[in-house]
Amino acid sequence: QAQDEAAFAKWWAQFQTAVARHDVKAVVQGIHYPMDWENGPTREIKTEADLTRRFDFYFTADIKKAIATKKPARISTTGKYIIIWHARGNEYSLHFTPLGSAVFALDGLAEGPP
């Protein structure tokens, strides 16, 4: 588990940088579509082309801030990681899934009551 945590920490720093720099190619690596993306009326991201074209629509200021400031927690039963924050009266969580040794991918955004 310590190796997984170290691998994720390295990947997370690279992901944070990619989002901050609007490096869509780095952000989209390993994503499976359609991807759940629950943010207001938006329910999913259908394709990589859609995410690439509308990056700032999907990655709002709130989401970018959460990525820049939150430390993901590991879900011990699945090996996935998650960050949680509150905005506009809802709870939001971004999910990240392991794809293999030291490789992870964004796996969706969930929205729900706080």
pLDDT tens digits along 80-98: 999 999 988 899 999 999 9
pLDDT tens digits along 51-83: 999 999 999 999 999 999 999 999 988 889 999
The side-by-side arrangement of strands in the sheet containing 90-100 is: 42-45, 35-39, 103-112, 90-100, 81-87, 73-74
pTM of the model: 0.91
